[in-house]
Structure 1
Amino acid sequence: MRSLPHLAGRWGLVCGGLVLGLCTAVVDAVFLVVAGVAVVAAPAAGRAVRGRVSAWVRAGALWLAGVERWRLGVFLGCVVEEGEYGGGRALRYLAVRVPVGLLGGAVVLLLVYGVGSGVVLLSRWVRGLEGYGMSPTPWIVAYVVVGGVVLVFLNLQGLVGMVVLERRVAGWSLGPSRRELLERRIGELAASRAGVVEVVDQERRRIERDLHDGVQQRLVALGVLLGRARRQGDSELLRQAHREAREVLRDLREVAWRVYPAALDTVGLRDALAAVVERSGVPVRLVYEVEGRLPRPVETAVYFVVCEAVTNAAKHSGAVSVSVEVMAAGSGVRVRVCDDGCGGADVSGGGLSGLARRVAALDGRFSVSSPVGGPTVVVAELPCVGVVEGV
């Protein structure tokens, strides 16, 4: 729960932002009037003057819109999503924001005036009663206090409404249009689809490499050992062949787990991650706090994120220990893998970049922090709402 000083500071920022918005609204109004007069008078001065006036109006409108975006972000905590807007949309925003800014300043001034008037009236009333030798009764005090609290509450609601109105006006005028949002979404989907195809190709190449360099070589060695043992009847060669057969079986299981862990379908994500922890070459602490089963695509993505991050920590970072956290986060799940290794992980490498594309395909967020000297922290946030089975 937020502390009282924090809330007071937040409300102070809001009031300061609205008062500043009152001042900028006056500046915006003056600019609009001057710009309007200049645009009307420019045609009579010739084409060159008209072009310079138009450029000045556009530049001024964009600069004032930038100031408003800064004010909204710093004082009101409203980050307007970046959109493609020019001088025309900036002018429209300034025209709409002038009355909004004046109204916001009026609400703050009304709050200050109301609180000040209440304090003055209450002090005069108390002094007047004391002059007659009377003292305020509890009922009268409660009436005055409750009435004052209700009025302050209503005024604070007005401040909240002004913040929402400022955000919506800025988003409507300066934020991305519906067409821009659709184009961005189409671009994201196209990129994620291409990323999924590339991830699949990378996985196939890695499987082929593991089969060729690992299993195939061991099978060749196993065949040679069995041939020698058959010709010589040497029991030691048979024991070596048996050991080699077990290694081949272990390699095949590792390749099969990297293709798709069957334990996800049979025992679930928790036990599949527990198997990763058991097979790891370094001690791993697993914290799993997710109730029930997740959608299959999400479970698969979480599994591969943890598996890849733990494998990288054991092979490349020189880590002594690894911490894995799988936590419910709102309507999704958050995965965090941290190791105490030397850091310096290559984010653009095949493993991590493949994970990033796999997470992006599910509309998730993926980040890697790996400064030289460590630690390396891999974080993936995946939504569970709207995920289609089979993706």
Structure 2
Amino acid sequence: MAHLLTSLLLGPATFAWALVTTLVSGVLSFTYLAPPAFLAVTWGTRRIAEFERWRAALVLGRHVESPYPALLRGNPWRRGRALVREPATWRDLAWLLSLFPAGLAGLAGLVAGVVDLATILAPLWLWSVPNPYLPPVVDWLFNTVGGRFALTGIGLVLAPVVWPLVTTAANLQARAAAMLLEAGPRQRLARRARELAVTRRRVVDAQAAELKRIERDLHDGAQARIVAAGMTLALAERKLRPAGDDLRNARRQLDEALAELRRLVRGIHPPILTDRGLVAALAALAGDAPLPVEVRADELGDLPPAVESAAYFVAAEGLANVVKHAGADACTISIRRTGDTLSLTVRDDGRGGADQTGAGLDGLRRRVEALDGTMSVTSPAGGPTTVRAELPCAL
């Protein structure tokens, strides 16, 4: 009853709101004020729609989920244009226009419920409205105690017919509201995909942080102890000349273990990335290469650790392939950031014909795709070879 009554009262108000705001938005659509005006109008419409979802949830006995994605950041013009493209915006408007006729359609159920409830409660109120001009039968029902209790009996007999009509009318309205105002299957799927993307990004960032911790532990712990042991062996070798060969062998093995450990540390997470950043790490790669390598880099700003690591390894693997297989005379590494996208290109002037299905490139592609990035390799016979990776880098 409360739902049907509030629908009847809210219907004209929401219809007028939707009509006026649509006309205002249409007039302003030819001006520069259209996006911020639409943003303000949509804010009010969504507050009304939220109240409608709450009313529908009370009738349906379940939560009616909000369909709106996270609001974009930026100026009002950008946000207003984004709201125009959202299906939920127009579904809200459709319901606000539909509530008026829906409220009128539920009037029959509301009247039936009010009449039946008034009949059942006749002994409590009919005494206050005496009318001596009623026909005899009606006069007996309305103006005598026995007749009023007879009306109560009639109302109770009709209740099993009337009240299902009331609840059906309210449920139809609530279901129509939920159908238009809550998230549909596509929106729920898109929201779930966004949630999974955020979760995966957090997992990748956590993995990058853990690799960085392992690298630091190896660098400051095991590696430092091996260096100290090597120094101890060198001192012992000087003091114990007869056992010098054995000590030299032990020291050589220790040096080899240290070199292997350093390669392992660089493979887990290059220390230079933590100490000096991505651009400096790429410059160090270029400086160690046996051919001229030019690094072209713009200002990159703060990058997620996983993105820094992936970009570094793409450049390192691309440069290693150039040195081993391309027979190139020069190489260029270009890196730039455009908005929330980091682009890295490794290009050489070698012979081309790179195997794009090789383990190295395939492993890099999986690393990039794990961050929702893309990687492409262009290597025609005769060259040049270009490895390009694009990584989302929003923090």
TM-score bin, normalised by smaller chain: 0.3 to 0.5
Q: Report the TM-score when normalising by structure 1.
A: 0.39
Structure (1 or 2) with the larger CA radius of gyration: 2
What is the TM-score normalised by the length of structure 2? 0.38
